Amino acid sequence: MNKATSVTLSERLTANPVILKELRGRMRGWRAFIVLTLYLLVMSSFVTLLYVAFAASTNTAYNGGSGQQIGKFVFAGTVGIELLLACFIAPAFTSGAISGERERQTFDLLRTTLLPAWSLVLGKLGSALLYTFLLFLAALPLQSLAFLLGGVEPMELAIASVLLVATAYLFGSAGVFFSSLMRRTLGATVLTYAFAIMATLGLPIAMLVMLPLTALFSYNSPGVLFQTVMIYGFGFLIMINPAATAIATEVILMEEQTYFFFTQSVYNPQTGNSIILPLVSPWLPYVGFALVFGTGLVLLSILAVRRTER
Amino acid sequence: MPTIIETKGLTKRYGPLTAVNDLSLAVEQGAIYGFVGPNGAGKTTTMRMLTTLLQPTSGEAWVAGHSVTRDQRGVRRALGYMPDFFGVYDDMTVWEYLDFFGACYEIPAATRANLIKDLLELVDLTHRRDDQVDTLSRGMKQRLCLARTLAHDPQVLILDEPASGLDPRARIEIRELLVELSRMGKTIFFSTHILADVAEICTQVGIFEAGRLVAQGGLVEMQRRLLPHRRLQITLLDKLEGAQAALLGREGVLEMKVIPPAQNGEPTTTQLLEVNFSGDDTSVSALLSHLVIQGYPVLRFTEAVHDLEDVFMHATKGIVS
């Protein structure tokens, strides 16, 4: 007969020995407390600075909508900072995950226990992400200031949170992946940051390359196919970049009034008619991309950890 | 006694270098097996293959009946491994360290608290339970690591140089601990180059050189096989030269050596003669009768026991792969 047992979240988490050990180490003593305090101090100074700068540059007496504008501005600023954290701090927590065990010479010990490779990889990634999420959660009250000022809807906050979680997962997985490949944490960190910089700055560079092509739009009257390829190509470049995704999602929200789907008409110079292209707000495909790509990296890490040395 | 660790033609090659060459050994259940050899002989490579950390190039090995290449989980469940380094986490207390490895061996949280208490008692570290692991002395760290390997109550312990780098007291403590564990029914397979440890506690010895097992067996049996000649020590009251002349040319006498009084610890009035002799007990007895009948004043007639160093020097050639 099955006994009805309710398993709490904390029991579930601590069932993985690696998560239990990592969280014990990370939250021990004053360190976690001091890090959080410093982080919140920096974040609140940043928000204050944004507020003061914006208030000084607009004359509130004659501008009724400025409260909403400040709200949007503060919200965008905090999400921007947290996006940076997700891209560069989450991988810092994970890039030493496996290589650190190798350096400490504990990797062999773990491999001779019954701890499965997936448990080690997911435990390392999970504990790093939990700490990153704690940083996001701690900053939530600051983000919510935007609600006091107006101009931000709860749905925007929800999308921003999903975006942050997906980004932390993608970049955290990249850290674990390089850590599982490399013998040294230094090498893993270098590769992880190279990946992070490519993923965040790759788009602007690609844009610079693409810019001369867009000139074709203004001089010739380009065909439907070319325009379609350009629109979807740009969309693709945006949905693989977290910052571009965040900005484009907000722009589409303001211009198209939608969080999800919208259309764009493309003029056909040959027939004089227009065709309608279905499009999707980039945060949706971005989250899908982050989940698939991140999970791919996690699976590769598990294979690398499971592999017996030859 | 059934065999608990077995290898058949176990070989590990790194490019042109052969680290372990066609190794076939058998360790009996309950044995304390001393795996002796010079540095670089391939002892650690062998242990890494037995503990599923390294894939053999060819050959096969079994621990408690589980194949190290096909049933790694079965092997891991049956053995505890202590490498030749500590592998401790800084920023972790002694009990957390054991708790973590206990959890890695799938021991439920409810039973871990009691297990940790027992393990710490066994290795005599109860008083350091809440201290940081990196504040322990080398000997204590080594004992903690030994406790870690015992977390899941394995049948076999594979220990790589458990006594290296320890002071004499810590070494003896580890040695006593191994004997204690053997009494608890565990098979212990350990590598060392400290021959005194082997002679003291091992029931089985394997001498390993340049990737090959050059000799294997019980200590006494191996001495007999590797060093078939005997060393007779004859203490005489007088007439040393005469006795030498009487023994010269007798069958079985290979070599004779007079040990000067300063080295033999005997009073200066007696004389000590050492004879390298090849023959069975009857011919040893005959040799004694011969001396006595001829009127030589024999005070003592003993056979020196060869120590393991003699065996080791005889078996190995000083090659390092």
- Cα angle for residues A111, A117, A118 (degrees, 5° grid): 160
- Span A47-74, mean pLDDT? 73
pLDDT value of residue B321: 40
Is B189's Cβ below 8 Å from some Cβ in A?
A: no
Is B109's Cβ below 8 Å from some Cβ in A?
A: yes
Residue among A104, A109, A308 whose CB faces B52 most closely? A308
Measured between CA atoms, the residue of chain A closest to residue B73 is A114
Residue among A17, A115, A308 whose CB faces B55 most closely? A308
- Confidence category of residue A221, pLDDT binned at 50, 70, 90: low
- Cα angle for residues A44, A46, A50 (degrees, 5° grid): 115
Phi and psi, residue A59, nearest 5°: -90, 100
What distances in angstroms separate CA A155 from CA A93, A147, A160, one per listed residue?
29, 12, 8
Is A100's Cβ below 8 Å from some Cβ in B?
A: no
Phi and psi, residue B167, nearest 5°: -75, 165
pLDDT at A216 over 70: no
How far apart CA A156 and CA A152 sit, in angstroms, is 7
Q: Are A280 and A239 in contact (CB under 8 A)?
A: no
pLDDT, tens only, A108-151: 999 999 999 999 999 999 999 999 999 899 988 888 887 887 77
Sheet holding B253-259, edge to edge: B253-259, B271-277, B230-236, B298-304
How far apart CA B75 and CA B61 sit, in angstroms, is 10
Cα-based torsion angle of the residue sequence A244, A246, A250, A253 in order, rounded to the nearest 10 degrees: 100
How far apart CA A45 and CA A101 sit, in angstroms, is 37
Ranges of residues in chain B whose predicted pLDDT is under 70: 223-228, 261-268, 306-308, 317-321
The closest of A79, A65, A80 to A149, measured between CA atoms, is A65
pLDDT, tens only, A86-110: 999 899 999 999 999 999 889 999 9
Is B88 in contact with A106 (Cβ distance < 8 A)? Answer: yes
Output A206 or B210, whichever has higher pLDDT: B210
pLDDT value of residue A6: 57
Output A115 or A202, whichever has higher pLDDT: A115
Contacts of B152 in chain A (CB under 8 A): 113-114
Output A185 or A234, whichever has higher pLDDT: A185
What is the DSSP annotation of B54-123? B--SEEEEEETTEETTT-HHHHHHHEEEE-SS----SS-BHHHHHHHHHHHTT--HHHHHHHHHHHHHHT
How far apart CA B15 and CA B33 sit, in angstroms, is 30
Is B89 in contact with A14 (Cβ distance < 8 A)? Answer: no
pLDDT value of residue A1: 38
Interface of B with A in 45-74 (CB under 8 A): 48, 51-55, 72-73
Residue B135 carries which DSSP code? G
Is B92 in contact with A308 (Cβ distance < 8 A)? Answer: no
pLDDT, tens only, A239-278: 888 888 888 888 888 887 778 888 777 777 777 777 788 8
pLDDT at A190 over 90: yes
What is the DSSP annotation of A100-167? HHHHTT-HHHHHHSS--HHHHHHHHHHHHHHHHHHHHHHHHHHHHHHHHH----HHHHHHHHHHHHHH
Is B55 in contact with A112 (Cβ distance < 8 A)? Answer: no
Measured on CA atoms in the order B129, B133, B137, B139, is the torsion positive or negative?
positive
Identify from B88, B91, B104, B116 which residue to disrupt to test chain A contact, counting A C-beta atoms within 10 A and taking the largest count: B104
The closest of A26, A273, A21, A287 to A159, measured between CA atoms, is A287
Is B152 in contact with A114 (Cβ distance < 8 A)? Answer: yes
What distances in angstroms separate CA B91 from CA B96, B124, B127, one per listed residue?
10, 22, 18
Beta strands at B26-28 and B253-259: parallel, antiparallel or unpaired: unpaired
- The neighbouring-strand residues paired with B54 are A309
Q: Strands of chain B (E only): list them.
A: 3-14, 17-23, 26-28, 32-36, 58-63, 66-67, 79-82, 156-160, 187-192, 204-209, 212-217, 230-236, 253-259, 271-277, 298-304
Kindly indicate whether the ipTM for this predicted assembly is greater than 0.85, answering yes or no.
no
Say what angle helices B94-104 and B138-149 make with each other, to 10 degrees: 30
The closest of A131, A153, A133 to A144, measured between CA atoms, is A153
- Span A4-30, mean pLDDT? 76
- Cα angle for residues A307, A308, B3 (degrees, 5° grid): 145
pLDDT value of residue A203: 72
The closest of B204, B196, B207 to B174, measured between CA atoms, is B196
Is A8's Cβ below 8 Å from some Cβ in B?
A: no
Identify from A19, A306, A308 which residue to disrupt to test chain B contact, counting B C-beta atoms within 10 A and taking the largest count: A308
pLDDT value of residue A25: 84
How far apart CA B166 and CA B169 sit, in angstroms, is 8
How far apart CA B63 and CA B61 sit, in angstroms, is 7
CB pairs under 8 A between A and B: 70
- The neighbouring-strand residues paired with B80 are B157
Contacts of A145 (CB under 8 A, 6+ apart): A47, A71, A74
Contacts of B85 in chain A (CB under 8 A): 105
Identify from A5, A112, A121 which residue to disrupt to test chain B contact, counting B C-beta atoms within 10 A and taking the largest count: A112
pLDDT value of residue B223: 67
**Residue B282: both structure tokens together:** 């009857």
pTM of the model: 0.82
pLDDT value of residue A206: 74
Is A112's Cβ below 8 Å from some Cβ in B?
A: yes
The rounded percent of chain A whose pLDDT value lies above 70 is 89
